[in-house]
């Protein structure tokens, strides 16, 4: 369905959602559930592997070292992941526990302890000997400690996006794939227009969830965003995946004395699926059009050497490697807000490599903002003006 988008034209939709990845699919779900006439536009296929919402697993955790202000959003996100599972029958979340590793004063450990203390979250602080005893795959040095959180674990990103799209469609949303936006504008008489190669669409409100395409679709905001090429690796341990099964091996984030971090997961895809790990925020700058999707032998060797010094049973044989993109703000906090100059537009971008665990609650926030202009969720720290210096 298309709609002529002149200022006086009747609008076929209440809300257009631009981008149907993690955040956009969540927004489409929550908006349609509230009875809105929703059009969702996506340049690729559902749950595609061209952006940031793929790779089979994403970490979820509540003792959040990135800031205690995120914890209320995480608590709600957990509830909404559980709702997705109940309403779709999909297996989305696995609570296998999580370890934040590093020196006691590292960001990963100290920040997690702070959030746990502020919000009275259950956790344990383990010394190196206790880490080795309880989780023998790890080989921490004597100065390494670990904050263990039983509620931590992982979610499956592709299944999450599919579940959110499933619910959005069931509630009446019109979802169009393979249809990238050529541009958008706020209309003089109110509302918005979005143009694609197929036509023009009009709506009362526009929600933009562009992922790595934010510098293009939100250029007018002048946000200092950096799009980065990131790598993910899956290894088959020489001794088999037994020690890395979810009942024995938690998710982890491990910070070294330089501040560099790696993260990893248990073996969740059977004997041949491998054990996944990656560096956190170490990628070269790119754009969605220029990203190099080839993973080179020297990149594999660099990560394998680093990983093997910390988990001696790995790396073993490489099963596969893949690329994704982070879209990072200078302070590594998100951008979620009404557009500063266009009240009929809401934006969500700059999730800086740690946003997927928030997808369901971001969808709820975006629905609030699109329909009422405000939300009860704490999102003050996500205002775009903090990055641009605008009043």
Looking at residue 9, the DSSP 8-state letter turns out to be S
CA distance 144 to 234: 25
Please give the structure tokens belonging to residue 354.
Answer: 């740690």
Is the predicted pLDDT of residue 4 greater than 60, yes or no? no
pLDDT of residue 226: 97
Going along the chain from its start, the domains and CATH numbers come out as: 13-52+158-223+331-388 (3.50.50.60), 108-154+226-327 (3.30.9.10)
Q: How far from 217 is each of 27, 46, 65, 213, CA to CA, in Å? A: 18, 20, 31, 6
pLDDT of residue 1: 33
Q: How far from 232 is each of 55, 58, 249, 254, 276, CA to CA, in Å? A: 8, 11, 18, 16, 7
Nearest Cα to Cα of residue 280 among 294, 296, 263: 263
CA distance 168 to 184: 23
147 and 113 Cβ atoms separated by less than 8 Å: yes
Nearest Cα to Cα of residue 210 among 349, 75, 30, 384: 349
CA distance 347 to 175: 19
Nearest Cα to Cα of residue 61 among 91, 101, 99: 99
pLDDT of residue 389: 82
Q: Report how far Cα 134 is from the mean position of its chain's Cα atoms.
A: 29
What does the pLDDT look like over 332-384, one tens digit per residue? 999 999 999 999 999 999 999 999 999 999 999 999 999 999 999 999 999 99
- The residue written with tokens 């971001």 in the block is 362
Percent of the chain exceeding pLDDT 70 equals 97
pLDDT band at 281 (very low <50, low <70, confident <90, very high): confident
Bridge partners of 60, per DSSP, are 153
Q: Which secondary-structure segment (H or E) carries 113?
A: helix 112-119
Please give the structure tokens belonging to residue 25.
Answer: 């699919």
User: What does the pLDDT average to over 206-232?
Assistant: 97
Is the predicted pLDDT of residue 195 greater than 90, yes or no? yes
pLDDT band at 250 (very low <50, low <70, confident <90, very high): very high
Considering the chain, what is the average pLDDT of its residues?
95
Query: pTM value?
Result: 0.96
pLDDT band at 391 (very low <50, low <70, confident <90, very high): low
Bridge partners of 154, per DSSP, are 59, 94
What does the pLDDT look like over 304-319, one tens digit per residue? 999 999 999 999 999 9
Percent of the chain exceeding pLDDT 90 equals 94
């Amino acid at each position: 369905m298309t709609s002529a988008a002149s200022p006086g034209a009747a609008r076929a939709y209440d809300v257009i959602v631009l981008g149907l990845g993690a955040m956009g699919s969540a927004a489409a779900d929550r908006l349609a559930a509230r009875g809105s006439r929703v059009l969702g536009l996506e340049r690729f296929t559902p749950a595609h592997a061209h952006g940031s919402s793929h790779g089979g697993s994403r970490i979820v955790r509540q003792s959040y070292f990135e800031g205690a202000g995120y914890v209320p959003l995480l608590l709600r996100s957990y509830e909404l992941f559980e709702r997705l599972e109940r309403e779709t029958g999909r297996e989305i979340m696995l609570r296998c526990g999580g370890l934040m590793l590093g020196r006691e004063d590292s960001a990963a450990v100290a920040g997690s302890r702070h959030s746990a203390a502020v919000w009275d979250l259950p956790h344990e602080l383990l010394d190196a000997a206790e880490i080795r005893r309880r989780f023998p795959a790890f080989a921490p040095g004597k100065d390494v400690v670990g904050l263990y959180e039983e509620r931590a674990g992982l979610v499956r990103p592709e299944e999450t996006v599919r579940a959110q799209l499933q619910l959005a469609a069931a509630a009446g949303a019109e979802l169009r794939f393979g249809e990238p936006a050529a541009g958008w504008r706020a209309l003089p008489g109110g509302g918005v227009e979005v143009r694609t190669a197929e036509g023009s669409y009009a709506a009362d409100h526009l929600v933009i969830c562009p992922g790595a395409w934010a510098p293009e679709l939100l250029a007018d905001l002048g946000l200092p965003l950096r799009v980065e090429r990131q790598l993910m690796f899956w290894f088959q341990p020489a001794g088999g995946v037994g020690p890395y099964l979810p009942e024995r091996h938690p998710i982890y984030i491990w910070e070294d004395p330089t501040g560099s971090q790696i993260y990893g997961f248990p073996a969740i895809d059977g004997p041949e699926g491998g054990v996944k790990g990656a560096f956190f925020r170490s990628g070269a700058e790119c754009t969605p059009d220029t990203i190099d999707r080839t993973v080179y032998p020297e990149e594999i060797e660099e990560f394998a050497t680093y990983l093997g010094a910390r988990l001696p049973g790995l790396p073993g044989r490489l099963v596969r490697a893949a690329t994704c993109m982070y879209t990072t703000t200078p302070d590594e906090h998100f951008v979620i807000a009404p557009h500063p100059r266009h009240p009929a537009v809401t934006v969500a971008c700059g999730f800086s490599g740690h946003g997927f665990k928030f997808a369901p609650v971001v969808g709820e926030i975006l629905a609030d903002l699109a329909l009422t202009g405000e939300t009860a969720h704490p999102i003050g720290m996500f205002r775009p003006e903090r990055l641009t210096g605008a009043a």
